[in-house]
């Protein structure tokens, strides 16, 4: 199967049948996403099959800030030691990531995550971003992100981060595609 990930277009992409099994993520796509895109609160990207317009999954990207304290994880220390001690540091937030329940188990979540990280790498050459932050909806989502190297933010067990400097693994043959 061939899939396409693109910026959301409310006139083209059909989201009515989307259901991922998480009511908050379903409601976001059905009721809030268009407003967030219109108001420039979040950029929404959707995955469809071939040229079909039915949304099979989605993620959002937004500007975000974190503190050095947020990145206190031991594995992040080599990167953290090299950054200035500003009160707030630039980051990119993957606020939501969901796959339709009919398509789960087909690695679409991985495809969406890799696409999001590749976009972050690209934008980081034009707008500074130190890390990618995710808000995991549950423990299953935490495990999904940890599999790709995300580390918990102190004081927020379901908020995780990945330093942009470590995203060079995307070019590695060991990173899932």
The C-alpha atoms of residue 103 and residue 74 are separated, in whole angstroms, by 36
| pLDDT at residue 173, rounded to an integer | 47
73 class by beta-carbon count within 10 Å (0-12 exposed, 13-18 middle, 19+ buried): middle
Residue 104 within a domain:
yes
| pLDDT (average), residues 119-138 | 92
- Res. 87: pLDDT tops 60: yes
- Res. 81: pLDDT tops 80: no
The secondary structure element, H or E, covering residue 61 is: strand 57-66
* DSSP helix/strand/coil, 27: helix
35 class by beta-carbon count within 10 Å (0-12 exposed, 13-18 middle, 19+ buried): exposed
The C-alpha atoms of residue 128 and residue 106 are separated, in whole angstroms, by 33
* Exposure class string for 129-147: b at 16+ Cβ within 10 A, else e: bbbbbbbbbeeebbebbee
Number of domains in the chain: 1
More confident position, 61 or 174: 61
Domain that holds residue 64: 3-171
- What global pTM score does this model have? 0.88
| pLDDT at residue 125, rounded to an integer | 87
| pLDDT at residue 78, rounded to an integer | 72
More confident position, 96 or 125: 96
The CATH number of residue 128's host domain is 3.40.630.30
Report residue 55's pLDDT band, with 50, 70 and 90 as the boundaries.
Answer: very high
More confident position, 85 or 127: 127
More confident position, 171 or 167: 167
Least confident interval from 8-17, 48-57, 150-159, 168-177? 168-177
Least confident interval from 66-70, 101-105, 123-127, 137-141? 66-70
Residue 176 within a domain:
no
Residue 177 within a domain:
no
| pLDDT at residue 176, rounded to an integer | 53
């Amino acid at each position: 199967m061939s899939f396409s990930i693109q910026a959301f277009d409310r006139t083209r992409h059909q989201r009515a049948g989307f259901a991922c099994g998480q009511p908050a993520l379903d409601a976001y796509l059905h009721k809030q996403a268009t407003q967030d895109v219109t108001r420039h609160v979040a950029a929404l990207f959707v995955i469809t099959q071939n040229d079909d317009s039915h949304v099979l999954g989605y993620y959002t990207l937004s500007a975000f800030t974190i503190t050095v304290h947020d990145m206190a994880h031991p594995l992040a220390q080599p990167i953290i030691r090299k950054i200035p001690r500003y009160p707030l540091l630039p980051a990119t937030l993957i606020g939501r990531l969901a796959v339709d329940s009919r398509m789960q188990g087909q690695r679409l979540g991985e495809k969406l995550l890799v696409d999001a990280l590749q976009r972050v790498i690209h934008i980081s050459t034009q707008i500074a971003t130190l890390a990618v932050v995710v808000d995991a909806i549950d423990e299953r989502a935490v495990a999904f992100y940890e599999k790709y190297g995300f580390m918990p933010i102190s004081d927020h067990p379901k908020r995780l981060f990945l330093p942009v400097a470590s995203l060079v693994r995307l070019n590695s043959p060991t990173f899932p595609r």
